[in-house]
Structure 1
Amino acid sequence: MDSLTQIILGAAVGEVVLGKKVGNKAMLYGAIAGTIPDLDIFSSYFTDTVTALQIHRGFTHSIVFSALFAPIFGWLVSRYERYKDFKGWAWLFFWAFVTHPILDAHTTWGTQLFWPLHERLAFKTIFVIDPLYTVPFLVFLIMAMFQQRTSKKRRLYNKTGLILSSAYLLLTFFLKWMAFIKFEAALKDQQIAYKQIDTRPAPLNTILWSANVETDTAYLLGYYSFFDTESIKFETYEKNHELLGDLANDEKVQQMINISKGWYIITEKDGKLLYNDLRFGVLSMEEGSQDFVFQYEIKQDSQGKVQFVEQEKRPRDAKKLMSDLWTRIKGK
């Protein structure tokens, strides 16, 4: 999830663990702890794109990391804070650390919660930014913040925020199931034979859902809004995996294919060979759009070493997507 949401969750968890004893400091340290796992993004400054993608939401988003580093941070804080209970601070950091990847596991990217196992846990039930999850949670956290640390209202407000946000997460599983049933029925009605289907919410909401459908030679992308009255239409994208040629056997290419779980297409544009990660869709809902959210140019240096270079996004692309989303959410 986005940094603000993780800060809110960390603060709320910190309040549960030590709020009654240290007041708003529990929220402060919980908020700090809630951001620490995402420091793995700095790996992109020290390594190549593919390796950085592998590292992201890996070790720092695992139970192992939480168990190892919570006591260290707990000890450090207990050394200079007036409240000296090492165990209390360690538990605060542990729960703030571990709830971070658990929340991230609901997104499309997922987390290596059980690192060193390579499998990522990804429920794909919520977008990385979802105001319906974050805003009510933030409101109740702020309300709790302005209460006395021993106040029953403080605990009530914080608990209410946690319950509402958690209930919404549970609801997203039901919404995902409902959307999946619709996509499955549409494929059956249109007599489309497919290998697998992958569903996820569109950006910023859980009303509009998207699906990637794999066939023998192509991928189909479709959208469904709970306000739709028309049948689902699928856009066809040829796999074009053969365009990789001998590059298909390159180690970096294989790593990228593994990262995207095989959901990718290859395209050529302006002399560039592009790797498109299908899991996150396109930046436009216009028919036949080739502007994928995560698009990488595959380059080779003079020694034949393969590099992936992420293509930059333009601000107007995001504005266009927001406009398209709002229109599409209202249904067809």
Structure 2
Amino acid sequence: MDSVSQLALGAAVGVAVMGRRTALWKAALWGGVAGTLPDLDAFIDYGDAVRNMTYHRGSSHAIFWQTLASPVLAWIASRVHGEAKSFRRWWLAIWLALITHPLLDTMTVYGTQLLLPFTNHPFGVGSIFIIDPLYTLPLLIGVGVALARRAPAGLAWNRWGLILSTGYLAWSALAQAHVRGVAEQTLAARGAPAQELLVTPTAFNTVLWRVVAMREDGYEEGFYSLLDGGRPIRFERFATDRALERSLHDVWAVQRMAWFSHGFYKMQAQDGRAFITDLRMGQEPWYVFNFAVARREGANWSPEPPRNFGARGNLDEGLSWLGRRMLGEDVPPPR
């Protein structure tokens, strides 16, 4: 999730765990710090664009390493504030603020390696967009009122913020399961079930969903709003260059992206370069991660350090379509 959401979640967890054992601003401060710390790995340069993407949400998001780090941070917090007798409570608060960060990230589609060093599998439920105001606002309001009104009334507001935001996460998973069922029925009715099926929300909401169905020769993309009234999903087909993929199969960046995207990627050649695109984040033809991984030299391809050529479409046009389509209006996406 975005940094504001992680900050708010960490602060809310800190306040909830510490309660009246310390000043609420101290609990919110240290909870917010612990909730933000894992994302500092975004400032590390791992060598190229594919490494920077796929190593993000790695060791810093691993529950094992966070568990080892939590008593150190708790010792610092308890000593700074002269509250050594509350060390165990500080330990619990900071540990929970740390581990809820990767658990929340796992609800997005990106991929979080939260079980390192035992497995580097990038977990991603994909039921919530990376920025969703309906998740974040209850946390911000709860923490804000808690700091303004203090205990005990403030603690109740903070608790309700956590309850509502967590409930919204549960709702997102239920909505995702419903849309997946609709997509599977639509594809089955056509006699063309997908090899792999991706269902993720569009930007800032859990009403309008994007569906990607992988095929041997490419993939299909469709959109479904919970306000569509049961209307079948209309899919558009897009190609991927399997011959190009086979010729670059041994390139590390191609292998890495195929693994990290769980197979939801496309490959294409353009302007003398070979590109691999993560289909999970964005929509046709605009994707956040679109890496150039090789350059044509005569009849052959020569691998090159990956560079990201991700792009976004017209914001005003995209938001206009998003609002209309979310309300159930049958309008085609901008291309």
Same fold (TM over 0.5): yes
Task: Give the Cα separation in 2 of the matches to 1:320 and 1:297.
Answer: 27
Task: Give the Cα separation in 2 of the matches to 1:227 and 1:191.
Answer: 25
Query: Which residue of 2 is the match for residue 143 of structure 1?
Result: 145
Query: Which residue of 1 is the match for residue 325 of structure 2?
Result: 328
Question: Which letter does structure 2 place at the counterpart of 1:308?
Answer: P
Query: Which residue of 2 is the match for residue 318 of structure 1?
Result: 315
Q: How much has 1:312 moved relative to structure 2? A: 4.8
Query: Which residue of 2 is the match for residue 291 of structure 1?
Result: 286
Task: Give the Cα separation in 2 of the matches to 1:169 and 1:248.
Answer: 37
Query: Which residue of 2 is the match for residue 249 of structure 1?
Result: 250
Task: Give the Cα separation in 2 of the matches to 1:191 and 1:309.
Answer: 39
Q: How much has 1:204 moved relative to structure 2? A: 0.6
Q: How much has 1:155 moved relative to structure 2? A: 1.6
- Deviations 1:59-82, CA, capped at 9 Å, x for gaps: 111111221111111122233222
Task: Give the Cα separation in 2 of the matches to 1:189 and 1:120.
Answer: 32
Task: Give the Cα separation in 1 of the matches to 2:316 and 2:105.
Answer: 25
Query: Which residue of 2 is the match for residue 22 of structure 1?
Result: 22
Question: Which letter does structure 1 place at the counterpart of 2:19?
Answer: G
Tell which deviates more after alignment, 212-221 or 94-103. 212-221
- Deviations 1:103-153, CA, capped at 9 Å, x for gaps: 1111101311211211122111111111111112211221111123xx221
Partners of 1:183 and 1:232 within 8 A in 2: yes
Which residues in structure 2 correspond to 1:61-140 (within 5 Å)? 61-84=61-84, 85-116=86-117, 117-140=119-142
Q: How much has 1:291 moved relative to structure 2? A: 2.5
Task: Give the Cα separation in 1 of the matches to 2:289 and 2:51.
Answer: 16
Query: Which residue of 2 is the match for residue 286 of structure 1?
Result: none
Task: Give the Cα separation in 2 of the matches to 1:130 and 1:239.
Answer: 31
Question: Which letter does structure 2 place at the counterpart of 1:297?
Answer: A
Query: Which residue of 1 is the match for residue 40 of structure 2?
Result: 39
Partners of 2:122 and 2:260 within 8 A in 1: no
Q: CA 1:83–1:63 in 2, change beyond 3 Å: closer, same or farther?
A: same
Which residues in structure 2 correspond to 1:116-265 (within 5 Å)? 116=117, 117-148=119-150, 151-229=151-229, 230-265=231-266
Moved >6 Å (runs of 4+): none
Q: How much has 1:99 moved relative to structure 2? A: 0.6
Partners of 1:108 and 1:279 within 8 A in 2: yes
Structure 2: stretches of 5+ with no match in the other structure: 331-335
Query: Which residue of 2 is the match for residue 285 of structure 1?
Result: none
Question: Which letter does structure 2 place at the counterpart of 1:147?
Answer: R
TM-score, scaled relative to structure 1: 0.91
What's the secondary structure of 1:249's corresponding residue? coil
Q: How much has 1:203 moved relative to structure 2? A: 1.2
Q: CA 1:114–1:2 in 2, change beyond 3 Å: closer, same or farther?
A: same
TM-score, scaled relative to structure 2: 0.90
Tell which deviates more after alignment, 29-38 or 261-270. 261-270
Partners of 2:127 and 2:172 within 8 A in 1: yes
Q: How much has 1:13 moved relative to structure 2? A: 0.5
Structure 1: stretches of 5+ with no match in the other structure: 283-288
- Deviations 1:139-187, CA, capped at 9 Å, x for gaps: 1221111123xx2212211110011111111111111111111111111
Q: CA 1:304–1:297 in 2, change beyond 3 Å: closer, same or farther?
A: closer
Partners of 1:194 and 1:216 within 8 A in 2: no
Identity %: 33
Q: CA 1:128–1:226 in 2, change beyond 3 Å: closer, same or farther?
A: same
Query: Which residue of 2 is the match for residue 278 of structure 1?
Result: 279
Alignment RMSD (CA, Å): 2.0
Task: Give the Cα separation in 2 of the matches to 1:319 and 1:73.
Answer: 44
What's the secondary structure of 1:205's corresponding residue? coil
Task: Give the Cα separation in 2 of the matches to 1:76 and 1:55.
Answer: 28
Question: Which letter does structure 2 place at the counterpart of 1:325?
Answer: L
Task: Give the Cα separation in 2 of the matches to 1:197 and 1:244.
Answer: 20
Task: Give the Cα separation in 2 of the matches to 1:317 and 1:310.
Answer: 19
Question: Which letter does structure 2 place at the counterpart of 1:277?
Answer: D
